[in-house]
Chain A
């Protein structure tokens, strides 16, 4: 920051305190304020959106991981998973138990589907939103600049006002002071209104562009999910088809629980604790 800039900053800080305490009358532009608040609201929400989007990927990973762990635990009952025999070209691995095959499928799903999901998700959903958020840096600087200009303008205004209200005729430099102050006021007003009107004009346009920019991301967010769940469903369904028809029917009728109960009943009949 240059010396000039530093001086400006100190002056502004003083003026700002005076504005806050009500010593300087603050000029207001309702129209601009409206747009700025809208903009701030948008910023707040899209930052939140970005955070949530990131969480989504995490939670998806946690979910699949947890599913794999359950699968692995089930599979480990049956010992080491059979691996592809060395040298054989075929993809088919022969499983001696459903649990092992289940684990295998889950693992494949996780390795393949989640990995495949990441690139499009990042490219079309997460990155656009963070790119959109990166625009705020620029716009916020413009807003800050406008605030500075406003303070300058308000300070100048009050200065001129004071000079006019309490004319100090004894001071020989009074006239010169007044004219220079008035000149400065015009200058400050010009700078302020220039940036004010520019922002007032451009901000709504920018805000309106949010929909065509973000809606495609939403669409691809949905589409990616559809694709992901569809793939998962298909893979698991393939495995389910391999189950015998009885089991599937049992599940549909809600009898699979009964089957487990049946095992438990037989276990009870062993009379382990009895004499």
Chain B
């Protein structure tokens, strides 16, 4: 700090001198240049400070990380293993065996051989629980497994981090050296400059010797200036990059550390989870195994141990009942030993685990503050956040609060009710003329042409693309002459379903008969696909035919409902319906479906169980809409 001040003082002084001298002579450096150097000084000293701090910070991170990898993690596992081993030696298999136990067993064997009444061997008398033994040994082995994995991972991680950080530190050192070199050059330059100024200040004319030294100094000055400028320029161009790379580096090691930690916790968690699951330590909750809460663990423990505790205490009082108050006193580890341990830990922590923070010049924004700076407006336009950085140095991953788009697991659809029986649909389709014949006595008004177009448009929107090419031509062919006639024909005269079908078939086929031109230039020599192949033929025609029929049917219904001037009900769909057969209207949950025609509203006797197919429409825009059968129980 003080050095910087002094340096600044020097340059101020220099510039003052230069100011006065420059009026006398033009030979000396310009004031403007001088002032720019001041700015550079400030900037570079700022960088220097930050780099030094960053270096020590990195070193600290490496050493702590090493401690984590070499000491803390292994220690945690080692102690854990010790605990289990102690548990095993107390309650596990072969527990409580002591040195020389064989002698006792031998003695017993001798005694047993001599006596007539067989006695239980002391070995057999040991009260052990196999499942507990197994539990302990399994835990021990799973722990050892995790330990080896975690310490291996951390070793690797620590080594790789150390290697990389040391390289980074090397670069930082180089940069610092460069800064030092630059400052040295600057000092030299200033020294020479002062010498020149001193000579220039002379009022008496310079003698030869002085003149020579002046010209030598001037030559030196030029060389030094060149050298200094070179270094300075280089630093100025390098430093922002260094800082930027350092930023990326720190970011990356944070990521690495985080991922490493997550991996470790994941490993431990998985192994423990497996163990607990295997031994049934998990809580059964809605059929799923859930990890117990601390409260539950405590209460369960209390429940299990209390009877045992009472039993033990009664035994104790049988054996020796001198100071019963000992049993009744609450053991509170936390208050006595633990408290002391805590204090001790705090003390040792302070010694061993010294904290370290990077104290950058800019306390609020840290080392990378200048790189972070950007035009807030531009940032806002780009990222909807004025604080985001738009410059080259911006790393998109820096904005951590932008969540990734997570692919939601498919949400199980609310169970959509069973579809109404299809036979019913067929029935309605055929029964329609009957109903209409009964109710509507007036001839239907001719269908407006534009209405038809919209319908076609809408059918094109539908999901049955494969058949459009077919149906389009057919519809346009027949529309002109048949629509009105059918409506009256079918509706008023041929009221039996067979007749309707027959009629429709005729119309449909008549349109086909209009095709005069065969697109195939010459007959196929290979008759693999026979023209009378009924299967393919039927298949293509049935769908097309059906659609065509439906189209006309919907036309009629529309015209009818318009003529009847009924207020159409608009219902909201409760479930998704993909549409299963031609003529179905697909819709999503929440769609507004306008009910065009509901048979139940006309014929109350018609399947009044609320389960049938009604005709609905959804608006795709203000004019266009899609129409089709919808299951009534989906609303």
Contact = CB atoms under 8 A, between A and B. Distances in A.
Interface of A: 30, 33-34, 37-38, 40-42, 45-46, 48-49, 52-63, 65-67, 69-70, 72-74, 76-80, 92, 94-99, 101-102, 116-120, 122-124, 126-128, 130-132, 134-135, 137-139, 141-142, 145, 198-199, 202-227, 229-230, 232-233, 236-237, 239-248, 251, 256-257, 259-261, 263-264, 266-268, 270, 272-273
Given A211-B132, A221-B83, A263 B252 contact: yes
Interface in B522-570: none
Given A52-B83, A227-B293, A264-B171, 15 more contacts: A48-B86, A69-B64, A69-B355, A77-B54, A78-B367, A97-B400, A120-B297, A145-B320, A209-B311, A212-B304, A213-B305, A216-B305, A218-B91, A236-B261, A248-B259
Contacts of B297: 120, 124, 220, 223-224, 227
Contacts of B252: 256, 259-260, 263
A58 B356 CA distance: 21
A74 to B, nearest CB: 5
Contacts, number: 396
Contacts of A233: 262, 265-266, 268-269
A42 B90 contact: yes
Interface of A is mostly: helix
Given A70-B64, A138-B320, A227-B291, A76 B57 contact: yes
A38 B86 CA distance: 15
A154 to B, nearest CB: 20
A256 B357 contact: no
Contact of A135 (B95, B263, B316, B366): B316
Nearest to B312: A209
B305 A128 contact: yes
Given A30-B104, A224-B297, A59 B79 contact: yes
A126 B334 CA distance: 9
B258 A102 contact: yes
Most A-side CB within 10 Å, residue of B89, B305, B367:
B305
Interface in B272-317: 272-273, 275-276, 281, 291-295, 297-298, 300-302, 304-305, 308-309, 311-313, 315-316
A138 B265 contact: no
Contacts of A246: 397
Interface of B: 54, 57, 60-61, 64-65, 67-68, 72-73, 75-76, 79-80, 82-83, 86-87, 89-91, 95-98, 100-101, 104, 107-108, 122, 125, 127-129, 132, 135-136, 139, 160, 164, 167-168, 171, 174-175, 177-178, 238, 241-242, 245, 247-259, 261-263, 265-266, 268-269, 272-273, 275-276, 281, 291-295, 297-298, 300-302, 304-305, 308-309, 311-313, 315-316, 318-323, 326-327, 331-334, 337-338, 341, 345, 349, 352-353, 355-360, 362-369, 372, 387, 396-401, 403-404, 406
Contact of B269 (A69, A202, A230): A230
Contacts of B360: 76-77, 79
B57 A272 contact: no
B492 to A, nearest CB: 66
A236 B258 contact: yes
15 contacts: A66-B67, A66-B353, A69-B356, A74-B250, A97-B398, A127-B331, A134-B331, A198-B319, A211-B129, A213-B309, A226-B281, A232-B265, A237-B262, A242-B403, A260-B252
A273 B174 contact: yes
A257 B256 contact: yes
A92 B397 CA distance: 19
A99 B334 contact: no
